[in-house]
Structure 1
Amino acid sequence: MKNSPHWVKTTVDSPLGPLLLAASAQGLAGLWFTNQRHLPADSLVQSWPADASHPMLQAAVQQLTRYWAGELNPFDLPLDLSGGTPFQQSVWQALRTIPAGQTLRYGELATQIGRPAAVRAVGTAIGRNPLSIVVPCHRVVGADGSLTGYAGGLDRKAALLRLEHGDGLF
């Protein structure tokens, strides 16, 4: 994944732990739990100026607040997915079509993007999703419907799905 040295960042608290948000001139470019797998390199993140007043970051924080309250879905933010390969971008765009409160199996997503034999590659692309929650990779489950493979941790994946089912976070 390519991350730009020209992004701005902020860190915010959430009910599931601190979040790092990054924005580019094109839109929201990153949203990661600060302790999840596949974060950008520390040296790169350190090079991004902190700017909590950046309009894109403020819009993201406002929508996240509404999401945590169960009042918002889907997110309505311009996104910058340019950090991924064309294949990754196709997977990330497909994730955005999964309605809140529903799940899709990895194989179903691979078929949806026209690559039914690429289940493992789809899983890898999902794991590298730079926009956790906003690009809802937590809505993808294993072939048997079990919760598998979430870079932010399976406990968070379960909590996000509970929230979207209207059951609250905890």
Structure 2
Amino acid sequence: MLTPELWDPTTKVFSQLAPQAVPRTYHSVALLLPDGRVLSGGGGLCGGCATNHTDIEILTPPYLLNADGSAATRPTLSNVPADAQLGTSIAVKATTGVKAFALMRLSSNTHAVNNEQRRVPLSFTIGTAGEFILKIPADPGVVIPGYYMLFALNTNGVPSVSRTLRLH
């Protein structure tokens, strides 16, 4: 498949993006990077392929760009703890204009299938000092213990560069 798709969790609709230059089939990988871009690589020996593909492509999704193609302004995260317990809350600092937070589980990808990737939206409140208090879900079936990327998203849906958080 050459055409990546972008899921919109608000509208619950996929939209097609610009096609990849190289078919990414058997033994390929697609990984969400901490900066919100997507690494797509490997694959080969597909129906019309003459060889294996030992290269990668980096997709810059449209949510990282302004209409003119320049980089969109991103929120930033700071003071993120290194780890947290399921069912607790953590305090983080972020720039103003943040409207959402999401956890993205670090990937485990093989044979073009990613069994571990998941997005977990987090509810939050604002603390007395302006910090964001994020509620970590308690259900280990929703938040499997392990490492996650924490993203802050602004009102335009532009994500921060993530911070890694271990949940246990």
TM over 0.5: no
The structure with the greater share of residues assigned to strand is 2
Structure whose alpha-carbon radius of gyration is higher? 2
With normalisation by structure 1, the TM-score equals: 0.30
The structure with the greater share of residues assigned to helix is 1
